[in-house]
Structure 1
Amino acid sequence: MTRVDPVALGLVLGWAADQVLGDPRRGHPVAIFGSWAGAVERRPYRHARPAGALTEVVVLAPVLALGAAAGRLPAPARCAATAALVWTALGGTSLGREGTAVHDLLVGDDLPGARTRVRNLVGRATQDLTADEVARAALESVAENSSDAVVGSLVWGALLGPVGVVLHRGANTLDAMHGHRSPRYHRFGWAAARADDVLGWLPARVTVLATALAAP
Structure 2
Amino acid sequence: MLDFMTVFPSWQWMPLLAVAGVAVDHVLGEPGRWHPLVGFGRFAARIERALNADAHPGLTLPRRVSRERGLFAWIVCVCVPVAVSVGVIALVPAPYNALIHVALLWFALGARSLRDHIRPIGEALRNGEIERARSLTARIVTRDTSDADETALARAAVESALENGNDAIFGALFWFAIAGGPGALAFRLANTLDAMWGYRTPRFLHFGWAAARLDDCANYVPARLTALSYAVCSHFPSALHCWRTQAVHWDSPNAGPVMASGAGGLRVLCGGAARYHGIDEARPVLGMGRLPGAADVDRALGLVRHALWLWLAVLLGLGALAHVIA
**Superposition TM-score, scaled by structure 1 size:** 0.92
Aligned residue in 1 for 2:7:
none
> Does residue 134 in structure 1 map to residue 182 in structure 2?
no
Q: Give the Å deviation of 1:159.
A: 0.7
What is the rounded CA distance, in whole Å, between the counterparts of 1:74 and 1:214 in structure 2? 40
1:159-193 C-alpha deviation (Å, 9 max, x unpaired): 11222111100100000110011110011100000
What is the rounded CA distance, in whole Å, between the counterparts of 2:201 and 2:28 in structure 1? 36
> Does residue 97 in structure 1 map to residue 104 in structure 2?
no
CA radius of gyration, larger in:
2
Aligned residue in 1 for 2:200:
181
| Equivalent in 147, 154, 167 of residue 186 of structure 2 | 167
Structure 2 counterparts to residues 3-42 of structure 1, below 5 A: 5-42=12-49
Aligned residue in 1 for 2:291:
none
What is the rounded CA distance, in whole Å, between the counterparts of 1:13 and 1:102 in structure 2? 29
- Give the structure with the larger helix fraction: 1
- Give the structure with the larger strand fraction: 2
Q: Give the Å deviation of 1:147.
A: 0.5
Aligned residue in 1 for 2:99:
80
**Superposition TM-score, scaled by structure 2 size:** 0.62
> One-letter code of the match for 2:80?
P
> Does residue 195 in structure 1 map to residue 214 in structure 2?
yes
What is the rounded CA distance, in whole Å, between the counterparts of 1:59 and 1:214 in structure 2? 36
What is the rounded CA distance, in whole Å, between the counterparts of 2:44 and 2:233 in structure 1? 36
Q: How many residues are paired up?
A: 216
Aligned residue in 1 for 2:53:
46
8 A Cα contact 1:70 1:82, kept in partner: no
> One-letter code of the match for 1:122?
V
Identity %: 38
**3-state SS of paired residue (2:144):** coil
Aligned residue in 1 for 2:76:
58
8 A Cα contact 2:137 2:156, kept in partner: yes
Output the aligned Cα RMSD: 2.0
The 1:69–1:6 alpha-carbon spacing in structure 2 relative to 1, beyond 3 Å, is farther
Aligned residue in 2 for 1:115:
134
8 A Cα contact 2:107 2:185, kept in partner: no
Greater mean alpha carbon deviation, residues 119-128 or residues 163-172: 119-128
> One-letter code of the match for 1:118?
T
Task: Indicate the structure whose relative CO is greater, using CA pairs within 8 Å and at least 6 residues apart.
Answer: 1
The 1:75–1:10 alpha-carbon spacing in structure 2 relative to 1, beyond 3 Å, is farther
1:32-77 C-alpha deviation (Å, 9 max, x unpaired): 2111111222222233211111111111132111332255344322
What is the rounded CA distance, in whole Å, between the counterparts of 1:32 and 1:11 in structure 2? 25
What is the rounded CA distance, in whole Å, between the counterparts of 2:94 and 2:233 in structure 1? 33
Structure 1 residue runs without a partner (length 5+): none
8 A Cα contact 1:6 1:79, kept in partner: no
| Equivalent in 88, 102, 125 of residue 106 of structure 1 | 125
8 A Cα contact 2:166 2:222, kept in partner: yes
